Amino acid sequence: MDSPSLLDEDDRCGRAGFYSLTWEPPSIRPTEALRSAILHGLQDTSGADPGEVAEEKLMEIATERGLDSNQTDLLGEANHLSAIASMVTWILRPGKAWKRPELIILPNGTPWTPGAFLSADDGHLRRIVLCSRWDAYRQVQEEHDWRSLESAIYGVPMDLVVVVLGQERNGRRHGPLTKGWTHPVSKTLRFRKRDGTEFDGSWNKIFRENAEFSREQWLDALVEDGLLPEVVLIHQMEVPQRFLDLKAIADSKLSHLVEEKKEPEPQLSRCFDRMHPCQYRSCCPVGLQPNIDLGFVRINQVHPKERI
C-alpha cells in the first residue's frame, strides 16, 4: 500500500492502518477494484491497448480476489466495472504510460511511497478521483485527502483527474460514461436532451457493457451532447500552504504506525460505515485478527526504513 493510502486508512481507524501493513482483505470493494484496474492500465508498458489491459485486470481481480459487494449477480457487476475500466483508461491515456514520482525520504528517515503520478511534463503530480458526483463538498473532501496532500510532501502542485461515474444502484453506475439511450428506429446514441432532461420510455436504455457502440462512438456521442467536460475534468490544486508541516506530520504518523507493536483499540463506529466499510470488518469487531483461514492475504512486511 502506498503511503498516502496507508495514512488515510490510519486516520479512519488506527487498527485498520496497523493491519494494512501486514494483510490485504480477502475481497475488494468494487470502486477500489475499478481504481486498481484503471491504474494498472495507465501504467502498463506491454504495448497492448491500455483499455483492454484495464478490462482484463478488473476481471482478474473479480475472479481471483472477489468483489466485496452485496449484489447477487457478481459476474454482471464485474462485467459492468470492466467496461468502465476500459472506457476510462482509454480516455485518460492517449499516449505513453503514466509514471510515478521518485520515492523520497522524509525528515526523520522514513521513505514515502508515492500514490500519485507525474504529469506529462513531469512538472507536477496528478491523481485519479472516482466519484458519484463532483460538487463543492466533494472537492473539499478530496483536497484534504492524504492522496491529495501528497502535493505538500513533494512540494509541487497537483491535478485531480476527476471521473464522475454517477450514482451506484444495484451494482451499476448510472452516468453518461456507463449508461446511454438509443432511439428505437435510428439507433442514435444520446445521453441527455438539449433542455437537460433525460429521455423517456420511448428511447431504449443501454449500459456500456451491453452496447455495440465502440469506445470512439461512445466518446463522440458524449462530446456531441456536451457532457465530456462534466464527466472527466481536471481540478488544479496548488501546494497546500495553510496546513502545519505536513512532512513532519506524515513522518511522525508513519513512524509510529510501523513501530507499533500492539494493535490499537478499534474504532467500532467506523467498522460498517456506509460510504467506506472497513476491509477488516469480518474479523475485528468480533475479536479476531486477520488470518489466512479467513481469506486474508499476507503481505511481506518490510519496515519502511529497511527499503532505503
Q: What pLDDT, on a 0 to 100 scale, did the predictor assign at position 121?
A: 87
Is residue 83 domain-resident? no
The mean of the pLDDT values for the chain is 91
pLDDT given for residue 302 in this prediction: 43
pLDDT for residue 243: 63
Q: pTM value?
A: 0.91
Q: What is the pLDDT of residue 241?
A: 75
pLDDT of 160 reads: 98
Report yes or no on 181 lying in a domain: yes
Is 184 inside a domain boundary? yes
Crossing angle, helix 3-12 and helix 246-259, to 10 degrees?
70
Instruction: Give the residue numbers spanning the domain of 187.
Output: 177-226
DSSP run (H or E) holding 140? helix 136-143
Q: Using one digit for the tens of pLDDT, what is the confidence trace for 94-131?
A: 999 999 999 999 888 888 999 999 998 888 999 999 99
Catalogue the E-assigned strands of 16-113: 23-24, 104-105, 111-112
Number of domains in the chain: 1
Asked whether residue 199 is assigned to any structural domain, the reply reads yes
How long, in residues, is the chain? Answer: 308
Is 85 within a domain? Answer: no
Reported as type and span, the H/E element at residue 36 is helix 30-43
Report, as ranges of residue numbers, the positions in the chain whose pLDDT lies below 50: 301-308
- The pLDDT value recorded for residue 305 is 42
Residue 213 Cα distances to 9, 56, 90, 180, 293, angstroms: 39, 19, 15, 11, 44
Please check whether residue 221 lies inside any domain of the structure.
Answer: yes
The helix/strand/coil state of 250 is: helix
For residue range 7-50, what is the model confidence (pLDDT) as tens digits? 999 998 999 999 998 999 999 999 999 999 999 999 999 999 99
Establish if 213 belongs to a structural domain: yes
The answer to whether residue 3 is domain-embedded is no
What pLDDT score was predicted for residue 201?
73
pLDDT for the residue numbered 244: 62
